[in-house]
């Protein structure tokens, strides 16, 4: 399915939401432990902490958001959705709940994710995370011009936002602008601290532009010949 291949290319966020800035630090003291555990890659610990908090107050919004994030990180997506939905009932303006739900639906229902991100942007027009995620929702629906506009707005809010830069370049590659995408990705991939993901993104743009030899050289640093063939086959779905 073409959408599945597209999700491999785009820098999709995890389902974990960015918490409402106004709520950070306003919950029970243990919530900071849960948030630290999430940041440290220990969602199971965060889940235990939030369970204790919610046993005392089932409608504690920051705790519900952290619980949703923990469930998301553990791959327990129906439970994550229930946590975010409950937070949204308790606080209909919760940006964290809307972002969490939107990210959960990106893969399965991009139009619904789009609606959730647009709702966030009604209240916070400069929310760079929502703008980037909205761009992904557009790209997954084949609306590349709208996606690129959204990524550019995210970069206008934060010119250093690497996810938006990468997604903008990939969106351009998908929309017949692969050479321009290569030019955007090249300096990011050449950075000494560049991740493998960014190198792979550059290889994807090169392959889509028709330069499979250059793409192969980049991919050979991290992949076997068989894996390279599979990657080039996937990238070829978007080529000319």
Considering the domain boundaries, does residue 210 fall inside one?
A: yes
Least confident of 101-105, 153-157, 186-190, 192-196: 192-196
Least confident of 12-16, 29-33, 98-102: 12-16
Summary mean pLDDT of the chain: 88
pLDDT at site 21: 38
* Confidence grade of residue 4 (pLDDT, cut at 50, 70, 90): low
The string of pLDDT tens digits covering residues 17-44 is 444 433 334 445 578 888 888 989 999 9
The residue to which tokens 């959408």 are assigned: 3
Considering the domain boundaries, does residue 189 fall inside one?
A: yes
3-state secondary structure (DSSP) of residue 26 = coil
Considering the domain boundaries, does residue 61 fall inside one?
A: no
User: Which tokens belong to 127?
Assistant: 């929310």
pLDDT at site 6: 65
Least confident of 2-16, 86-100, 172-186: 2-16
Q: Which helix (H) or strand (E) holds 57?
A: none
The string of pLDDT tens digits covering residues 76-95 is 999 999 999 999 999 999 99
**Hey, how many other C-beta atoms are within 10 angstroms of the C-beta on 163?**
20
The string of pLDDT tens digits covering residues 142-167 is 999 999 999 999 999 999 999 999 99
Considering the domain boundaries, does residue 3 fall inside one?
A: no
pLDDT at site 234: 85
pLDDT at site 31: 87
Angle ∠(12,18,21) on CA atoms, nearest 5 = 155
Looking at the structure of the chain, the number of domains it has is 1
Domain range for residue 196? 176-240
Considering the domain boundaries, does residue 200 fall inside one?
A: yes
Considering the domain boundaries, does residue 119 fall inside one?
A: no
* pTM: predicted TM-score of the whole model, two decimal places: 0.86
Considering the domain boundaries, does residue 194 fall inside one?
A: yes
Considering the domain boundaries, does residue 169 fall inside one?
A: no
Residue 239 predicted with pLDDT over 80? no
pLDDT at site 238: 80
Can you tell me the distance from the alpha carbon of 116 to that of 102, in angstroms, rounded to the nearest whole number?
6
Backbone angles phi, psi at 176, to 5 degrees: 80, 15
Least confident of 30-34, 42-46, 173-177, 195-199: 30-34
DSSP structure class, residue 21: G
Average confidence (pLDDT) over 211-216: 94
pLDDT at site 18: 46
The residue to which tokens 């991100």 are assigned: 117
pLDDT at site 5: 56
């Amino acid at each position: 399915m073409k959408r599945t291949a597209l999700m491999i290319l785009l820098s999709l966020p995890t389902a974990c939401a960015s918490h409402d800035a106004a709520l950070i630090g306003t919950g029970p003291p243990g919530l900071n432990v849960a948030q630290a555990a999430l940041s440290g890659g220990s969602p199971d610990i965060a889940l235990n902490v939030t369970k204790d908090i919610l046993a005392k107050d089932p409608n504690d919004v920051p705790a519900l958001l952290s619980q949703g994030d923990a469930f998301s990180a553990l791959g327990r997506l129906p439970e994550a959705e229930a946590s975010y939905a409950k937070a949204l009932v308790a606080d209909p303006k919760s940006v964290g709940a809307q972002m969490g739900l939107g990210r959960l639906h990106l893969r399965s229902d991009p139009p619904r994710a789009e609606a959730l991100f647009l709702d966030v942007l009604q209240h916070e027009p400069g929310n760079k995370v929502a703008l980037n995620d909205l761009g992904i929702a557009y790209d997954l629906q084949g609306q590349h011009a709208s996606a690129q506009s959204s990524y550019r707005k995210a970069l206008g809010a934060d010119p250093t936002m690497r996810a938006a830069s990468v997604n903008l370049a990939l969106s351009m590659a998908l929309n017949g602008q692969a050479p321009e995408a290569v030019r955007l990705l090249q300096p990011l991939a050449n950075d000494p601290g560049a991740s493998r993901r960014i190198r792979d993104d550059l290889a994807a743009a090169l392959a889509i532009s028709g330069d499979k030899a250059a793409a192969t050289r980049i991919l050979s640093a991290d992949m076997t010949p068989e894996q390279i063939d599979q990657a080039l086959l996937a990238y070829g779905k978007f080529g000319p």
